[in-house]
Amino acid sequence: MLKNIKRILIANRGEIAVRAIRAIRELGGESIAVYSEGDKDSIHKDLADISICIGPAPANQSYLNIPSILSAIEITNADAVYPGYGFLAENPTFASILERSNIKFIGPSVHAIELTGDKALARKAAIEAGVPVIPGSPPIETLKEALEIAKEIGYPVLLKAAAGGGGRGMRAVHSEIELTRLLPVAQREAEASFGDGRVYIEKLILDPKHIEIQILADEHGNVVYIGDRECSIQRRHQKLLEESPSPFITDEVRKKMGEAAVKFAKQVNFSGAGTVEFIVDKDMNFYFIEMNGRIQVEHPVSEETSKIDLVAWQLLIADGQKLDFTQEDIKPEGHAIEFRINAEDPEKFVPNPGTIEDLYLPGGYGVRVDTHIYKGYKIPPYYDSLIAKLIVKGRTREEAIIRGKRALKEFKLEGLKTTIPFHEKILNEKEFLDGTYTTTFVDNKYLKKNVEES
């Protein structure tokens, strides 16, 4: 139960806000929801103990509006803020203001946010911690410098935004001509997305696996890794399906990756729930990409296999409590898969907001749905297209896949297009069934096919 922080404002919306409200209530706290005018019908505002409107629908006037959120904190007398993912979850300015105001930010320290949020600094910290990194560069200043670095590393290379992730500011480059053309494009996109136009260059690992390690670290120096997640089903660098454990890596590699993640977390003095992400090549060599110092969308698959409530532990760690288990106590069991149900055209992967005319959520043994939607709910067009997460668990991967097929078939949502049909296709793909799929699988098989047909 919570001892020091009791009134917690949730600076987010949608399913993660609902998830936080439930955890806060179970730990004896009081939840405060903020919502925009575009979310006036969202269920999270009704489930919370207190709710307060923070502005118009556009995120930059509400969920990203720091003065509005600070006003909500003052009005409701909140003593802590839960940021979830996205929006202000990794904003060091916001965390710093809270720190100076003696309001607990439920996440890492400002210093750790700054280190992990800047990919160039994170890369430097990984090297200092002895964690393998992909050959690359510090942030580049000029085209001439970029051409020299790329030539030294060897094409193909990857341009990446120094200040953020999610695929924005990222471009694959295969020649000097492409680099000359794409460098300013990547810089503009990085500036538009993160307010920081710096980019750096990495060696491009062809057809990699994207595998991440979930960690928990308390404020007393204890750090553990919970398990791994396979996140290689992506389109345009955006994850669509995650599973735990990865069907690709061996237990030996899994242990080495976990230990590397713990080393990195200790190097940056991290506390809270975080994810250390790696690229893994066909020979199972793994390389550090970045650390996300927040809860991830895909955290439920780790919860299901480890039986550890990650959101509850975020709250307890911020409350000053110690982890009550050690690395030896963590023994993941079974296999879990998460399907991101997005309000998108499943062929073109473009947003498709609308009104939910009918809804039936799947259930039964081994099935979990995290969502904020209901029949009659009008999905606003202003935010991310994620509307639900379907999580299934089985004793084996094969059992989880069978359960996933059953649950997807059972999931009825009428009135708009969603990614449910896409997931049903994926579960029948040979590359998915044998676990050999890579981060390029969806783009090559589905997006290129759609482009050729259009």
| Active site residues per annotation | 294
Dump the DSSP string for 247-271: SSS-HHHHHHHHHHHHHHHHHTT--
Q: Radius of gyration (Cα) for the chain, nearest Å?
A: 21
H or E segment and range at residue 250: none
**Cβ–Cβ under 8 Å, residues 207 and 282:** yes
Whole-number Å distance between alpha carbons of 302 and 275:
11
3-state secondary structure of 2: coil
Dump the DSSP string for 87-111: TTTT-HHHHHHHHHTT-EESSS-HH
3-state secondary structure of 357: coil
Q: Which residues contact 243 (CB under 8 A, 6 or more apart)?
A: 229, 230, 301, 335, 336, 337, 338, 397, 400
Whole-number Å distance between alpha carbons of 439 and 281:
11
The torsion angle over the Cα atoms of residues 55, 61, 66 and 69, rounded to 10 degrees, is 20
Q: Which amino acid is at 92?
A: P
Task: Report how far apart, in Å, the C-alpha atoms of 49 and of each of 18, 30, 45, 443 are.
Answer: 12, 6, 8, 43
Partners of 276 in beta bridges: 213, 291
Q: Which residues contact 144 (CB under 8 A, 6 or more apart)?
A: none
Partners of 371 in beta bridges: 388
The distance of Cα 223 from the centroid of its chain, to the nearest Å, equals 20
H or E segment and range at residue 434: none
Q: How many CB atoms lie under 10 A from the CB of residue 241?
A: 25
Whole-number Å distance between alpha carbons of 404 and 410:
10
Q: Phi and psi at residue 221, in whole multiples of 5°?
A: 95, 5
